[in-house]
Structure 1
Amino acid sequence: MVLKTTTATLTSSPLPLLSSFLKPPFFSFPKLPLLKPFNSPRTLQSSSAPQMSWLNKLGFGARSSTDSAVDSSSSTSSIAQGPDEDVPAPGQQFAQFGAGCFWGVELAFQRVPGVTKTEVGYSHGYLHNPSYEDVCSGTTNHNEVVRVQYDPKECSFDTLLDVFWARHDPTTPNRQGNDVGTQYRSGIYFYTPEQEKAALESKDRQQKLLNRKIVTEILPAKKFYRAEEYHQQYLAKGGRFGFRQSSEKGCNDPIRCYG
């Protein structure tokens, strides 16, 4: 940036010359280009804090903690904290789980016989209709969850609980491996009193097996916000590199959760 100057004869007082430079605007910011989506959506989570910091300063991306506090005290909070009013298909039931990055968790449930549908999304936060960037900011309290639809005649809730415990470490608060944040917390979110009872009993059994404190929260299912389409069945569709992983029923191939 080059400031244009004019030749001036100094007088006994420099104020006229200085005033010509001090008149606003001193300079102007260039127009910023529109931000494009990241090629690897999970990359954002591994370093969400610093990226969100400078994006927020420029007016892009997730809301600030102040904005979230405003949302939390508004009507949007009560909407987000309301029950999941979606209805499963006839003869089916819903279950909802949080066990770290929802990509790998969803694939694990896709492979279970009797599971008829899976969706990844956000729940148990204070912001209505959150985006992925909102959740990654760590200010909305949402959890990355998988909502499972299953046929209770072919798949018991206990079977789903077994998959849930096997898929993650329930003793690490707000963390699964390198993924750190409240959106990675361990949680079972029940739809019926029977699911709640089964979840509590299963947690007790698991506690004895691990001999470590389990931090899994067991709470009523709240409003489910379906995640962006590119997150749905992410690993089965091939992920970032196009390496598709099988979602066939009964498949026990290792699940590789990559960005």
Structure 2
Amino acid sequence: MSIHFKKVIYSLCNQFKLHDNDGMPYTSIIEENESGLLVKPTKNNSYQSYVLLSILTESILNLAEHLYGVCETYYSTCPDIGSDYALEEYRNYFLQQGKSLDDVRSIQLNRSFISMTKKGSYAVFVSNAATNWESVFYELCHECIHLLSPATGDLKNEVQRLDEGVAVKFAEAQYRKYITPYTYSHPTYSPLTSQPNGQYSTSYKYANKIPDEKLKEVRLAFGSFWSVTDKDKFMSIVGNYITEEEADYLLSKFDYNIP
């Protein structure tokens, strides 16, 4: 059992005094289900792990809301974990959720993403490369930023780089705060190491210059990080931290067909 990771979840829940609908503190539920940490993160094979994954997602999203404003998205609390499925099983799942065959063909398990399900709720789908609690933590941090104000389906082609930059910024910061103190290492699958000159890294480089309180102002002004429609207004908020050229980059569309 990862005693260290148990402390991570416990700390996240205790920070905001999170509890279930019956008023039971999440910290008590963690104690009851801590045996879930004996196995790899899984939605299908361990009820205790399922419970901990749900609590972890809610806790991370709560932290994201604290930094960047409220989330009004209807979402499934427990993420789907890619390592639970073979690729064909994953694709069949999406077909059952009402996705088109073209959508299913494009599904990649080598990255995490959010998607709307047939039930009308958003869900987080975690890369099959994330096989331990620490790597799932990183992926959930990234995707919870997207859950704040989702852009999926046709809207995915309109996402500005700022959205991905903030997602990497949040994931990197929380990993450094909660995980690195006991692993003494950086995230295994961070785009900062796998794609050091790619869009994710450059978007992070510029977004990381902007303080969280200013990013919260941006989201409040525009409703999301991916649809900033007025550069002048954007610069009135963040202009003390980034250049005009950096702003142009962040407000350009993210091309998901290249690194």
TM-score after normalising by structure 1: 0.29
Larger Rg: 1
Answer 1 or 2: which has greater strand percent.
Answer: 1
Q: Relative contact order: is structure 1 or structure 2 higher (C-alpha 8 Å, sep ≥ 6)?
A: 1
Q: Which structure has greater helix proportion?
A: 2
